[in-house]
Amino acid sequence: MGLFDGYNVATSGMAAQRTRINVVSANIANAQTTHGKDGGPYQKQNVIFQEILLDKQKELEKQNPTTATKNKESFQTPNIGVGIKEIVDAKNKPILRYEPEHPDANKDGYVAYPDINPVVEMTDLMEAMRSYEANLSSFQTQKSIDTKTIDILKS
């Protein structure tokens, strides 16, 4: 484990959670959007995370199992932590409401609304914010440990 690995993990986690916060915020903002880019209602989006270090370690083990296993402790990469694999559209079907006066109503008078529950989205938003704060705390703890180590080494 390298000197800056703790910082890399914490900052990658903060960046991933920031993306998640943005996506969830967009879901909340568009919960009543009946006319999106493709003409239908807005599609809820979800963020898919991926582990970066483990993926790279697995790739190394596939390439050369004996060397990767021997060098597991000395495996160094600046790209460790969590990353965004992709942002995907949810496969939820729209909710139909009878509103014949609405401009987006179909011939039967039903309007398609996105299947977004604001309570669930707010809970997801709070979880993402707490995860961001936990990563920030981890970063600050790493900084404090490094500062104290430098102070000890100076003495």
**Cα–Cα distance measured from residue 90 to residue 111, given in angstroms and rounded to the nearest whole number:** 19
Q: Tell me, what's the pLDDT at 58?
A: 62
Stronger pLDDT, 8 or 67, i.e. the higher one? 8
The answer to whether 60 and 74 are in contact (CB under 8 A) is no
DSSP 52: S
Encode pLDDT of 15-41 as tens digits: 999 999 999 999 999 999 998 888 889
The answer to whether 33 and 141 are in contact (CB under 8 A) is no
Q: Tell me, what's the pLDDT at 61?
A: 60
Tokens matching residue 24: 């969830």
**Cα–Cα distance measured from residue 93 to residue 145, given in angstroms and rounded to the nearest whole number:** 50
The answer to whether 2 and 76 are in contact (CB under 8 A) is yes
Q: Tell me, what's the pLDDT at 100?
A: 95
Q: Tell me, what's the pLDDT at 57?
A: 58
Q: Tell me, what's the pLDDT at 69?
A: 46
Q: Tell me, what's the pLDDT at 1?
A: 60
The helix/strand/coil state of 96 is strand
For the segment 3-15, the average pLDDT, to the nearest whole number, is 89
What global pTM score does this model have?
0.79
> How far is residue 141 from each of residues 7, 8, 26, measured CA to CA in Å?
10, 13, 32
Residue 101 Cα to chain centre, angstroms: 39
Long-range pairs of 144-147 with CB within 8 A, sequence gap ≥ 24:
146/3
Q: Tell me, what's the pLDDT at 70?
A: 46
The helix/strand/coil state of 84 is strand
The answer to whether 58 and 102 are in contact (CB under 8 A) is no
pLDDT at residue 72 greater than cutoff 60: no
For the segment 132-142, the average pLDDT, to the nearest whole number, is 96
